[in-house]
Amino acid sequence: MTQLLDKVTEQRFIQTGVSWESFKAIQRGFADSPGVRLFYYEGELEILSTSPEHEIVKGNLGYLLEDYMLNQALEFVATGSFSQERDAVASAQADESYCFGAKKPVPDLAVEVVITSGEPNKLKRYRALGVQEVWFWENGEISLYHLTPAGYQKANESQFVKGIDLDRLAKCAAIESRVQAVREFKRDS
């Protein structure tokens, strides 16, 4: 039997009117704080503390996605959760990020696990950074967005990871046991 995660509330703080210089100072102050993520977009600072549930979904999602891409012989560079920044405009830390073909300054795909709120500003941040595709895992579902000249458009399939069953991936990511998550994802596939 697979055990699915219970929804847990994470701590989230938003402050507006923050200068880029103040954001960078706050970012340095949190540099050695595991489980704390900082985001910035045009004067708005978001500080998010992650929960064990967040980290379980993040870990499962990354593992299952990378295993799928390896089995499909996709050329990718896993760039993880490094801070992606555009000076004085935006800073984001995806839970997982990937470049396809070769490493690039901005990843092609960013994946975020959302436990508390998806907030439209997350897409604004990624648009400012030029990330071509963004996935949000939330409540056992994955929402996928492609960047177009007009902004992000919701999509049904990835332009980079062809053929992946996003519904199955989303549900399996929420299984606490990594072994069970992998078994379930690979069952009948």
pLDDT in the model for residue 1: 39
- Whether residue 6 is predicted with pLDDT greater than 70 in this model: the reply is no
Residue 6 lies in a domain: no
Residue among 78, 72, 73 nearest 189 (CA): 72
Distance CA 150, CA 69 (A): 29
Answer yes or no: is 148 within a domain: yes
Token readout for 75 is: 């050329």
Average pLDDT over every residue of 164-179? 96
Is the Cβ–Cβ distance between 154 and 129 less than 8 Å? Answer: no
Q: Does a structural domain hold residue 3?
A: no
Structurally, the chain folds into a number of domains equal to 1
pLDDT tens column, 63-98: 999 999 999 999 999 999 888 899 999 999 899 999
Query: What pLDDT was estimated at residue 188?
Result: 73
Query: What residue numbers bound the domain in which 81 lies?
Result: 12-186
Has residue 67 been placed in a domain? yes
pLDDT, position 82: 83
Average pLDDT taken over every residue of the chain: 91
Beta bridge partners of 154: 145
| CATH number of the structural domain spanning residue 26 | 3.90.1570.10
**Residue 5 resides in a domain:** no
Phi/psi zone of residue 115: left (φ > 0), alpha (ψ -120 to 50 degrees), beta? alpha
Lowest mean pLDDT among 4-8, 36-40, 42-46, 145-149: 4-8
Residue 84 falls inside a structural domain: yes
1 occurs within a structural domain: no
Question: Is residue 171 in a domain?
Answer: yes
Residue 103 host element (H or E)? none
Q: What mean pLDDT is predicted for residues 88-114? A: 95
Please give the share of the chain, as a percent, with pLDDT higher than 90.
Answer: 75
Structure tokens at 116: 């508390």
Q: Give this prediction's pTM.
A: 0.89
Instruction: List, edge to edge, every strand of the sheet that includes 44-49.
Output: 12-15, 44-49, 36-41, 90-93, 83-86
What is the arithmetic mean of pLDDT over 158-163? 97
Bridge-based pairing of strands 133-138 and 109-114 is parallel
20-60 pLDDT tens trace: 999 999 999 998 888 888 999 999 999 988 888 999 999 99
Predicted pLDDT of residue 74: 97
